Amino acid sequence: MYESATVSDDADRTAFRRAEKNYKLYYEQDSKFSRKKKLPKPVDLSSVLDFNSISQDFNRTGVLPDGIRVAESDSQVFCIENRPGFYFIPNALSLEEQCKWIRESLTSFSQPPNRTNHNAIYGPVADLFDSAKANKVLVQEDANGWKFYDGEEAKQRSCKSVSASVLLRKLRWSTLGLQFDWSKRNYDVSLPHNNIPDALCQLAKKHAAIAMPAGEEFRPEGAIVNYFGLGDTLGGHLDDMEADWSKPIVSMSLGCKAIFLLGGKSKEDPPHAMYLRSGDVVLMAGEARECFHGVPRIFIDEENADIGALESELSHESGHSFAEYIKTSRININIRQVF
């Protein structure tokens, strides 16, 4: 599901793959500038749905583009006619909430016993964000133990090592609540875990409500936090390991703007491309649970990233480290009812 720089051989075989390739970041090969500064290839973004401007236009004129409607019970929630069960809530999270969940994603959600993509190589890694801030280095102690040291101390140990800032850049996911086992593509209830923090549960319940079967309340039991840097993508996939697909996945976007592809039940169905900005929440319930989706692109350039307000809010904080991280990154927290 996770890719960093390569698209697999069947890149052009399906409509979904073609759309992924269309939006993915590629660099100019023969540009006279390319030796000095890599230039991204221009991409035609004219058919990317922008729910932020759709919402502004709708609030001003009452008019919606073809194929888009608002939810019956809430005119600030948008639906796509041929994708029942999909809901887009632009600007669902306040700036303050966005900052809170960025801080939590970096300092608390990646802490053991929550697992991350680094577990498989290094075992549990504690305090990654603070260690990166302090320029620490992770050093192999013995066959299966790794520990952070200050840079100078690490140099004296002639062991395998990797800097915390490299590991932070390579942090791709962490799992909260019930732990998802990527190798078995299933939840492993035997793994130690903490419950999802109550404030996150309340937020997920509030936003899930519009997509819930009548009279039922969403139960947040597991969550995946995805961390994206420039060039990182999330390949087309289904989230089908939860028992009851009538319950939504609640997906929150933080940081740099991304392109999200919402396909159909077959990868042959041409996907809808849409922007996801910091503070947007997306719900996928019912039939939309059977639709392929993915993230082929994030934008970190000033013109497209759209995080000016967030960056300035975070840069009031000591050390600027959250602002530094988020200006080249995107975080997605998606929350699931597992049973």
Ligand X SMILES: O=C(O)CCC(=O)C(=O)O
- Binding to ligand X (CB under 6 A): which residues in 277-316? 293, 295
**CA 114/CA 193 separation, integer angstroms:** 6
Closest CB to Fe ion among residues 293, 327: 293
CA 33/CA 27 separation, integer angstroms: 11
Task: Considering the complex, state which of residue 55 and residue 253 has its C-beta at the smaller distance from ligand X.
Answer: 253
25, 261, 276, 338: which one binds ligand X (CB under 6 A): 276
Q: Contact at 8 Å (CB) between 275 and 48?
A: yes
282/264 Cα distance (integer angstroms): 16
From 239, 242, 290, 324, residue interacting with ligand X (rule: CB under 6 A): 239
3-class SS string, 63-101 = CCCCCEEEECCEEEEEEECCCCCEEEECCCCCHHHHHHH
The binder of 234, among ligand X, Fe ion, none, by C-beta within 5 to 8 A per type, is ligand X
* Nearer residue to ligand X within complex by CB, 146 or 227: 227
Does 329 participate in binding ligand X (rule CB under 6 A)? no
Give me the helix-helix angle, 198-208 and 95-107, nearest 10°: 130
Asked if 239 interacts with Fe ion (CB under 5 A), we say yes
When CB distances are held under 5 to 8 angstroms depending on the partner's kind, the choice from Fe ion, ligand X, none that residue 114 binds is none
Chosen from Fe ion, ligand X, none, partner binding at 276 (C-beta under 5 to 8 Å by type): ligand X
Cα–Cα nearest to 2, from 183, 256, 186: 183
Query: How far apart are CB 175 and ligand X at their closest, in Å?
Result: 10
Q: How is the chain split among helix, strand and coil, in percent rounded to 5?
A: 30, 25, 45
CB-CB contact of 325 with 229 (8 Å): no
CB-based closest residue to ligand X: 332
- Please, what is the minimum distance in Å from the beta carbon of residue 308 to Fe ion? 28
Contact characters 240-269, ligand X, x per CB under 6 A:
-----------x-x------x---------
Specify the residue, 90 or 248, whose C-beta has the smaller distance to Fe ion.
248
Name which of 178 and 224 has its Cβ closer to ligand X: 224
The answer to whether 140 and 146 are in contact (CB under 8 A) is yes
Q: Which of 253/329 has CB closer to ligand X?
A: 253
Cα–Cα distance for residue pair 108/112, rounded to 1 Å: 9
Our CB check for ligand X shows the closer of 278 and 332 to be 332
Residue 141 token pair: 């102690």
Closest distance to ligand X from the beta carbon of 225 (Å): 9
Among positions 131, 175, 332, 337, the unique one binding ligand X when judged by CB under 6 A: 332
Task: Find out whether 248 and 218 touch, Cβ atoms under 8 Å.
Answer: yes
Give the footprint of ligand X on this chain (CB under 6 A).
224, 226, 234, 239, 251, 253, 260, 276, 293, 295, 332, 334
Give the footprint of Fe ion on this chain (CB under 5 A).
239
